[in-house]
Amino acid sequence: MLAFDRLRAGYSGIEKLHDLSFELSEGKLTAIIGPNGCGKSTLLKCAAKLMEPMGGAILLDGNPLSEYDERERARRVSYMPQSRLVPDTSVRHLVSHGRYPYMGWGRGLNREDREIIDEALRRTGLASYAQRGVRELSGGERQRAYLAMMLAQQAKLMLLDEPTTYLDLSNQFALMKLLRELCAEGRGVAVVMHDLALALESADEVLLMRDGALAAAGSPEAVYKSGAIEAVFNVRIRRAADGKYVFYANE
């Protein structure tokens, strides 16, 4: 679906991502983990075409990402940044923005658009919040509103940067459950995460980054057994009897 071939990127001429090569696939949830400043958000910005690479290539369905116009790209790839401005609008109006890639000049929302918006609100538990102002919501509710906008966009690939921010524990689990359901429906989902245990327990694939490069990539079990997480984060990891991952600080 989305392939990175020796991707290099950075800011003000300073390279922050170094020769990254991997693929994000349909039907899989990929967790992107790594210490602060390792390039996780920069990677998603390149994938969302919010910044241009310094080298290498990004291929969407086998074609250079740069060959797609903005509207066509938005039909295929959606993106939730780590932080954003909070607009003075209703939840429903915010979610309706997800339909813009499908609306030609002068066309308003039609019946199908409204049904898709209703379904996005329902799946994120926001149906009863539709007429409320986005600025009235809690941080966690706002996260769900932006996720609903992504669902309304119906892109096959979803890129989310720290979506569990502001969510309490139960809502974190609910979010990951929904993302897994979307993967089962054929979407590809890439999620930047700081909760290592949640990443290992929820993802199909894990990308571990360190200093702008890949330290390990593969299934959660393979990345866990490689010892790379312990080396990168300077922690110890053990598997409990119930299969959960337990982390310990190195002394």
Q: Give mean pLDDT, residues 42-56.
A: 95
Q: How confident is the model at residue 240 (pLDDT cuts 50, 70, 90)?
A: confident
pLDDT of amino acid 239: 86
User: Among 130-134, 173-177, 180-184, which is the least confidently predicted range?
Assistant: 173-177
For residues 10 and 99, give the distance between their C-alpha atoms in angstroms, rounded to a whole number: 31
pLDDT of 30 over the 70 cut: yes
Q: Give mean pLDDT, residues 53-75.
A: 94
Q: How confident is the model at residue 31 (pLDDT cuts 50, 70, 90)?
A: very high
Q: Give mean pLDDT, residues 28-57.
A: 96
Q: Give mean pLDDT, residues 58-74.
A: 94
For residues 204 and 161, give the distance between their C-alpha atoms in angstroms, rounded to a whole number: 17
pLDDT of amino acid 84: 83
Q: How confident is the model at residue 106 (pLDDT cuts 50, 70, 90)?
A: low
pLDDT of amino acid 111: 93
pTM of the model: 0.93
Q: Give mean pLDDT, residues 71-85.
A: 92
Q: Give mean pLDDT, residues 122-146.
A: 94
pLDDT of 104 over the 80 cut: no
pLDDT of amino acid 241: 82
Q: Using the CB atoms, write b or e for 20-35: b if 16+ within 10 Å.
A: bebebbeebbbbbbbb
User: Among 97-101, 118-122, 196-200, 247-251, which is the least confidently predicted range?
Assistant: 247-251
Q: Count of domains in the chain? A: 1
* CB-based contacts of 43-49 (< 8 A; 24+ apart in sequence): 43/4, 43/7, 43/9, 43/17, 43/209, 44/79, 44/159, 44/161, 44/190, 44/192, 46/7, 46/9, 46/17, 47/2, 47/4, 47/77, 47/79, 47/159, 47/190, 48/77, 48/79, 48/159, 49/73
Domain that holds residue 87: 2-249
pLDDT of 148 over the 70 cut: yes
Q: Give mean pLDDT, residues 143-172.
A: 93
Q: What is the CATH number of the domain that holds 204?
A: 3.40.50.300
* Mean pLDDT, rounded, of the chain: 93
Q: Give mean pLDDT, residues 211-215.
A: 96
Between 131 and 242, residue with greater pLDDT: 131
Q: How confident is the model at residue 79 (pLDDT cuts 50, 70, 90)?
A: very high
Q: Give mean pLDDT, residues 202-229.
A: 96
